[in-house]
């Protein structure tokens, strides 16, 4: 089967991502982010994100075509994220994708954002091909999900996800209460460098034996956020200085510990010696180090695609669609809309 030339559009959150792939080869990956516009609100504002997508889409598509040297008429298919994500933001990308596909008379594929994150790995040509089954841990500002991937195009099972805040969101909220700017992940990382991760025993959400029975692969970070807030308040009430480095390092350790522990439990339970990491929080050095170290001790191989493919992007959407086409999947019909809670 010939390698399909696919343009992918990703607008589920604050990144306008346009990617072009041929088969498993990445030709372009342009990303425009409205992050700066959200900074003063301390988190992504859906309405602001949707408007930013509307403005960024056309120039981003032009840039991706120029970068790849591809003409629109050469495309074999157009792909777009239809969920999960912010409904208004998704709708902008879907509208653009439908307009492109209809005007070019090309097939259109609506795909799942989380499965797209897994597909990003395929574009990492420095790594050997992805083997199945694999456990995937996806952590970003919008999601924290643990999946069992038996086959990328036919069999992806959601094992668990966050019951409240996403891990990246927790970083953003804790940064805010420590007086650090948005996005909080890199700021917490910087502050943590001068702190002691063992200084404060913050709680590990849904990790007690009683929670593990029903929520073995689920996450919860809102209790941790509250624990940090209370700890800081007590310090301030006592008129004592807040050791920002220790709080940041101890908080980060609590997040990292629970992410890695549950991901490796999934590997063990399912007899899967492979773990794939994805999402913007993977930028966290400590998370990568702890995952690599503890996985190695358990005989689990960790795969981490390049960061430009871990954060939200259109190339992963195009890559997944290319795989779907090569596996014989029929295109979507034009009736689909945005599904903010689309299951895998």
DSSP-derived secondary structure letter, 310: H
How far apart, in whole angstroms, are the C-alpha atoms of residue 289 and residue 284?
Answer: 9
Please choose, out of 41-49, 135-143, 294-302, 317-325, the segment that lies near Zn ion by the rule CB under 5 A: 135-143
185 labelled as ligand-binding? yes
Least distance from ligand KG4 to the Cβ atom of residue 265, Å: 22
- 279-298 footprint of ligand KG4 as x/- string (CB under 6 A): xxx-xx--------------
How far apart, in whole angstroms, are the C-alpha atoms of residue 302 and residue 308?
Answer: 18
Q: Is 81 in the site for ligand KG4 (CB under 6 A)?
A: no
First-residue to last-residue Cα distance in the chain: 26
Q: Is 169 in the site for Zn ion (CB under 5 A)?
A: no
Residue corresponding to tokens 């970083």: 171
297 to 316, contacts with ligand KG4 by CB under 6 A?
A: 311-312
Nearer to Zn ion, 28 or 140 (CB): 140
Q: Is 140 in the site for Zn ion (CB under 5 A)?
A: yes
Q: Which residues contact 21 (CB under 8 A, 6 or more apart)?
A: 5, 6, 8, 27, 123, 315, 318, 319, 322
CB 117 within 8 A of CB 316: yes
- 128-147 footprint of ligand KG4 as x/- string (CB under 6 A): ------------xxx-----
Candidate list 9, 97, 119, 171; residue touching ligand KG4; CB under 6 A: 171
DSSP-derived secondary structure letter, 200: S
Q: Is 184 in the site for ligand KG4 (CB under 6 A)?
A: yes
CB 255 within 8 A of CB 170: yes
284 labelled as ligand-binding? yes
- Widest Cα–Cα separation across the chain: 70
Residues that bind ligand KG4 (CB under 6 A): 13-14, 140-142, 168-169, 171-172, 183-186, 189, 279-281, 283-284, 311-312
Residues that bind Zn ion (CB under 5 A): 140, 312
């Amino acid at each position: 089967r010939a390698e399909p030339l696919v343009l992918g559009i990703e607008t589920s959150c604050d990144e306008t991502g346009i990617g072009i792939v041929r088969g498993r080869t990445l030709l372009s990956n342009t990303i425009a982010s409205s992050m700066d516009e959200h900074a003063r609100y301390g988190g992504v504002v859906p309405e602001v994100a949707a408007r930013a997508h509307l403005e960024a889409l056309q120039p981003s598509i032009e840039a991706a075509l120029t970068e790849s040297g591809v003409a629109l008429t050469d495309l074999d298919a157009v792909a777009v994220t239809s969920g999960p994500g912010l409904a208004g933001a998704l709708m902008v990308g879907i509208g653009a994708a439908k307009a492109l596909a209809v005007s070019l008379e090309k097939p259109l594929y609506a795909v799942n954002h989380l499965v797209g994150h897994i597909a990003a790995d395929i574009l990492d040509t420095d790594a050997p091909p992805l083997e199945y089954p694999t456990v995937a841990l996806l952590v970003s500002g919008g999601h924290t999900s643990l999946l069992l991937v038996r086959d990328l195009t036919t069999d992806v099972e959601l094992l668990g996800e966050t019951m409240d805040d996403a891990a990246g969101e927790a970083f953003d909220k804790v940064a805010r209460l420590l007086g650090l700017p948005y996005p909080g992940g890199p700021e917490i990382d910087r502050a943590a460098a001068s702190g002691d991760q063992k200084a404060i025993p913050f709680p590990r959400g849904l990790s007690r034996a009683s929670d593990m029975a029903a929520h073995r692969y689920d996450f919860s970070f809102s209790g941790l956020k509250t624990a940090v807030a209370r700890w800081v308040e007590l310090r301030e009430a006592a008129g004592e200085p807040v050791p920002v480095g220790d709080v940041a390092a101890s908080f980060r350790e609590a997040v990292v510990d629970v992410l890695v522990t549950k991901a490796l439990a999934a590997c063990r339970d399912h007899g899967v010696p492979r773990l794939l990491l994805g999402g913007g929080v993977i930028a966290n050095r400590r998370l990568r180090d702890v995952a690599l170290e503890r996985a190695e001790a358990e005989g689990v191989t960790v795969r981490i695609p390049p960061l430009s493919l871990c954060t939200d992007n259109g190339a992963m959407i195009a890559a997944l669609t290319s795989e779907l086409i090569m596996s014989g999947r029929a295109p979507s019909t034009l009736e689909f809309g945005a599904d903010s809670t689309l299951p895998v």
